[in-house]
Amino acid sequence: MSVPAPIAMLAELTHRCPLACPYCSNPLALHGKENELSTETWARAFGEAAELGVLQLHLSGGEPASRPDLVDLTRAAHEAGLYTNLITSGIGLTPARLDALEAVGLDHIQLSLQGTTPELADRIGGYKGGFARKMAVAAEIKARGIPLTLNAVMHRHNLDDLERTIELAIELGARRLEVACVQFHGWATRNRAALLPSRSQTEAAKRIVAEAEARLRGTLAFDFVPPDYYADYPKACMGGWGSAGLNIAPDGTVLPCHAAETIPHLDFDRFPDKSLREIWYDGAAFNAYRGTDHLPETCRSCERVGIDFGGCRCQALALAGDAAATDPVCSRSPDHHKVTALLETALAEGDAAEFTYRRMPRKG
């Protein structure tokens, strides 16, 4: 099959983060500072990504502002000709740092939102005072006119606040709001019972987003990711494995998606041991699930296979025990009953479930 060039790259600059969100998509085994790539190596990766055809670079983490060299990294990405998007909690972005980021060509900021009140947001983020600091940073971003997306990760504890979330996005001057219902990867799998919304919350969210989208056309654009456990069909995760984007972990491991390391039999290459071109086109992990040939007959004979590519490989492994299986979220999957059973168990525990916060392991 012919392999298209990647469009986007997610650079996980660090796993360090002052927040401790229980739904973090980072792996359970987090990398410490000592494993992070240097400024020069990241800059090389950005240059190679641009040569490979990448257009958009997402500077992410952890909290990318935890890297003291964030301005140098952004400059390097801009000079490589990449559109730069900073994915941040806002903590660590002082006015002076924002000025410097703007000066070196930062194109866009994606600010996370844990909740619409200090009590809720600080409880979910596990960081006291975080909401107040985030609102101050949002005001600085608005004052500078830097294009802003508000990324609201939604779950059972904040979905009832969706209308207020939309109002807040407008107040903060966001052009786009991501209503991103938690996907169960990384730390979210540990917190499934605490985070899973109810079916009625999910239905209400769909109605609220549809109504707001129509009412706010031209003011606020929406990206809505509904909770896929309630869906009939899975999402086209990553737009298809190894077809649109690549992720680089803080230590340089190059991944087809953020959760790919949960598939134990895959061999991952590391940058700069190999070039990004070699890894993208010839890497074993990138080729493992490209296309649809690995999928079972259920998918191969299905009219939706060109739409969702059989769903998410990591979810297929986690729920069906086989990364090549039909994503069990699909109502046509022979494993779909496992999703129904998970839903029932998680909902039964519901409000009684406590958060396990994402924390770096303590040294020594």
Interface contacts to ligand FES, rule CB under 6 A = 185, 237-238, 241, 257, 259-260, 312-314
C-alpha to C-alpha distance for 173 and 56, rounded to whole angstroms:
22
Can you read off the two tokens belonging to residue 208? Answer: 């609220």
**Considering the complex, what minimum distance in angstroms separates the CB of residue 280 from ligand FES?**
16
Q: Which option in ligand FES, ligand SF4, none does residue 312 bind, with CB closer than 5 to 8 A by kind?
A: ligand FES
Report the run of H or E that residue 181 belongs to, with start and end. Answer: strand 176-181
Torsion of CA 312, 317, 319, 322, to 10 degrees: 110
21 is in an annotated binding site: yes
Query: Helix (H, G, I), strand (E, B), or coil: what is residue 60?
Result: strand
**Considering the complex, what minimum distance in angstroms separates the CB of residue 203 from ligand FES?**
25
332 is an interface residue for ligand SF4 by CB under 6 A: yes
304 is an interface residue for ligand SF4 by CB under 6 A: yes
Is the Cβ of residue 15 or residue 336 nearer to ligand SF4 in the bound state?
Answer: 336
Peptide bond into 272 cis (omega under 30): yes
Q: How many CB atoms sit inside 10 A of residue 112's CB?
A: 23
Is the Cβ of residue 101 or residue 317 nearer to ligand FES in the bound state?
Answer: 317
From residue 189, give the alpha-carbon distance in Å to each of 102, 186, 266, 317, 342. 36, 6, 21, 13, 11
C-alpha to C-alpha distance for 103 and 127, rounded to whole angstroms:
30
Q: What are phi and psi of 216, to 5 degrees?
A: -105, 15
Provide the total of helices (H) and of strands (E) in the chain, helices listed first.
Answer: 15, 9
Q: How many CB atoms sit inside 10 A of residue 323's CB?
A: 22
Q: Which option in ligand SF4, ligand FES, none does residue 62 bind, with CB closer than 5 to 8 A by kind?
A: none
- Which of positions 154-193 make contact with ligand SF4 (CB under 6 A)? none
Can you read off the two tokens belonging to residue 83? Answer: 């559109």
228 is an interface residue for ligand SF4 by CB under 6 A: no
Pairing of the two strands 254-255 and 245-248: antiparallel
Is the Cβ of residue 43 or residue 188 nearer to ligand FES in the bound state?
Answer: 188
**Judged by CB under 6 A, how many residues of this single chain contact ligand SF4?**
14
**Considering the complex, what minimum distance in angstroms separates the CB of residue 27 from ligand FES?**
11
Nearest residue to 16 (alpha-carbon basis) of 41, 38, 39, 35: 35
Q: Which of 298, 322, 347, 360 binds ligand SF4 (CB under 6 A)?
A: 298
Q: Is the dihedral of CA 29, 34, 36, 41 positive or negative?
A: negative
Is the Cβ of residue 211 or residue 223 nearer to ligand FES in the bound state?
Answer: 223
Give strand pairing partners of 112: 151
Residues 323/296, Cβ–Cβ less than 8 Å: no
For ligand SF4, what does the binding mask look like between residues 229 and 268, x meaning CB under 6 A?
----xx----------------------------------
Q: Which of 113, 179, 302, 319 binds ligand SF4 (CB under 6 A)?
A: 302
Q: Which option in ligand FES, ligand SF4, none does residue 358 bind, with CB closer than 5 to 8 A by kind?
A: none
Q: Which of 139, 221, 305, 342 binds ligand SF4 (CB under 6 A)?
A: 305
17 is in an annotated binding site: yes
**Considering the complex, what minimum distance in angstroms separates the CB of residue 181 from ligand SF4?**
19
Q: Which option in ligand SF4, ligand FES, none does residue 330 bind, with CB closer than 5 to 8 A by kind?
A: ligand SF4
Part in contact with ligand SF4 (CB under 6 A); list of ranges 33-41, 65-73, 221-229, 327-335: 327-335
Is the Cβ of residue 286 or residue 355 nearer to ligand FES in the bound state?
Answer: 286
Nearest residue to 186 (alpha-carbon basis) of 67, 301, 37, 312: 312
Is the Cβ of residue 120 or residue 342 nearer to ligand SF4 in the bound state?
Answer: 342
> Could you tell me where the DSSP H helices lie in 177-224?
187-190, 192-195, 199-215
Q: From the annotation, which residues make up the binding site for [4Fe-4S] cluster?
A: 17, 21, 24
Summarize as ranges the residues that interact with ligand SF4 (CB under 6 A): 233-234, 298-299, 302, 304-305, 308, 310-311, 326-327, 330, 332
